[in-house]
Amino acid sequence: MSESNKDTFMVVGKIVLISVVAALLLGITYVPTSAQLKINEANSKTSILGELIPEANNNFEAVYGDTVNEDGESNVLYYRALDSSGNIIGYAFFREQAGAQGAIVVAGGIDSTFSTFRGMDVLSHEETPGLGAKIVEDSFQNQFVNIPLASLALSSSGGSIDAITGATISSQAVVDALNSKIGEIEEAEE
């Protein structure tokens, strides 16, 4: 074996060894990290639900569907917000909707009579910075606080929500996500 072949073999061997060690370290840290991420996500969702319907004092009853997630657990369709006596005072939910650049995940809340929309929050999005990304700004989200359900539409369609200039698709995606999920909840609660 020539000297240059030996050198090449040593370099390739070192790269393979470094790759194996890195893969092992990633594998070792993945399991505890993924468990903590699930805990953090659950805590974050509980906090958001509490902000949407604070009168529930974080007393939310999950309503499960027939489908299961990758962990084999039933998927949560929405949450019933309960008062201290166990009476339903509203509904809260999470919904993913396609936006202009990718998925938008929103949280929303509605009263128990399906007449007043309580508010919303954007959990994640992939919208264009400076345009569609403005869906996370208070000036957009505050338009959704305590409005009649009949007004939950863009102003161009007769509603009370002003679309973000240059980001009508993102604005419409948020409104569509909220309205479609409210419709599903109303149908399920009949």
Can you tell me the distance from the alpha carbon of 68 to that of 83, in angstroms, rounded to the nearest whole number? 29
Tens of pLDDT, residues 115-133: 999 999 998 888 888 888 8
pLDDT of residue 32: 80
Q: What is the pLDDT of residues 140-168, one digit of tens each?
A: 999 999 999 999 999 999 989 998 888 88
Question: Which of the two residues, 28 and 78, has the higher pLDDT score?
Answer: 78
Position 1 confidence tier, pLDDT thresholds 50, 70, 90: low
Question: For position 19, what pLDDT does the model report?
Answer: 94
Q: Is the pLDDT of residue 8 over 90?
A: no
- Domain ranges in the chain are 39-189
pLDDT tens digit sequence for 49-102: 999 999 999 899 999 988 887 777 888 899 999 999 999 999 999 999 988 888
Predicted TM-score of the model (pTM):
0.78
Q: Tell me the average pLDDT of the chain.
A: 89
pLDDT one-digit tens code per residue, 164-188: 888 888 999 999 999 999 999 999 9
Q: Helix %, strand %, coil % for the chain, to 5?
A: 50, 25, 25
Cα dihedral 189, 88, 179, 158, rounded to 10, equals 120
Number of H helices, E strands in the chain: 3, 6
Q: 56: Cβ–Cβ under 8 A, 6 or more apart, which residues?
A: 49, 50, 81, 82, 83, 89, 90
Gap between the Cα atoms of 96 and 173, Å rounded: 10
Residue type, 75: N
Query: Which residues are bridge partners to 97 per DSSP?
Result: 104
Helices (H), the chain: 3-52, 138-141, 168-189
| Bridge partner residues of 122 (DSSP) | 106
